[in-house]
A and B are shown apart, each in its own frame.
Chain A
Amino acid sequence: MKKLAVAIALMLFAIVGYSAERATTPEITPPANGEEFLRLSSTEKLFWSIGYSQGYLDALNKIDVAAGPNSACASLAARTERQSSTAGKMSGFELVSGLEKFYADPANTLIPVGSAIRIYMLQAAGKDQATIQELIETARALGAESSRRPMAGK
């Protein structure tokens, strides 16, 4: 009887400890579009943007390893994809600020985060307004279409 009571007490302690740990563990779901991005707190947005930049850069650097240093894939990555990487070009603070401004327009909320970052970077680099507007219109159409499709992973 005594052993049973001790076992129950231990089990209760374990459950309480587990729930306390779960309650304090931060959980950030990567945002797919503006709707999800705007739901994050500023701290979450900042942590996510730093991770995004770092992950993007790491992935670009790994293309050399996976595809070979002089392959077409590696040169494509160096030529085009590296240009749309935020790493080394803008801080997490600037990326969060840029995306907040971009998604402040309700018409942009369904645009995927990756497209929004590319457009914001072109805007910040001084690309002409006509091209930017064209890109925004295309991204809006793509975003609206992808929101109508059921997501595979969700």
Chain B
Amino acid sequence: MDSLRSMLSVAAVSCVIPVLSASAITGKPLPHRLPAVVPAIALTALRDSNETNDFRRFEGALAVAKSLADLMPLGAERNALRRAILVYEDVDAVWSFAVRDRYGAYFNDDSLPGLHDRLTADYPGYDDFIADYRVADRKGNVLYPTAETRTFLLKQIAP
């Protein structure tokens, strides 16, 4: 299983992602019938970049996955990829804030407006999960940790 995942990962890095990226840059359309393995490779690249904590690779893989979803014909496979992308977009929102902001370990409504409320509405169990980790500063502002939020979101995609 591990060797299969690593093979998929290598294939993603060395073949599929550069081809898709080049296509995105040159504007040359991809064939409408994509091999069934391609979405799986894109998802593997997203998962692996999270496991290795590689933010730049994650952003690249997310862009590729989005353009892939746009090209796929309507159907269950596309829906599954779209659902995963929606979660990964939330991961991206939290992770990019953590990477770029000086106080990125925690967020609240001032730093990421509306995010906590949206996550609470979209993901059942998030509010209870994050309640154990929230802290309040000396002014009484409640803050939520980005690391645990990211962990929670990634668990929503885990097979």
Interface of A toward B, CB cutoff 8 Å: 41-43, 45-46, 91, 93-94, 96-98, 100-101, 104, 106, 124
Contact = CB atoms under 8 A, between A and B. Distances in A.
A100 B147 CA distance: 9
B101 A97 contact: yes
Contact of A94 (B103, B133, B135): B103
Interface size class of B (residues with CB under 8 A): 10 to 19
A42 B104 contact: no
Contact of A101 (B52, B104, B137): B104
Contacts of A42: 105-106, 133, 145-148
Contact of A100 (B104, B133, B135, B148): B104
Interface of B: 52-53, 55, 98-99, 101-106, 133, 135, 137, 143, 145-148
Nearest to B146: A42
Contacts of B102: 94, 97-98, 124
B148 A41 contact: yes
A101 B146 CA distance: 12
A41 B133 contact: yes
Top 6 A-B residue pairs of the complex, sorted by shortest distance between their CB atoms: A42-B145, A97-B105, A96-B105, A97-B104, A93-B103, A42-B147
A98 B55 CA distance: 16
9 contacts: A42-B105, A42-B106, A93-B103, A93-B143, A94-B102, A96-B105, A97-B103, A97-B105, A101-B98
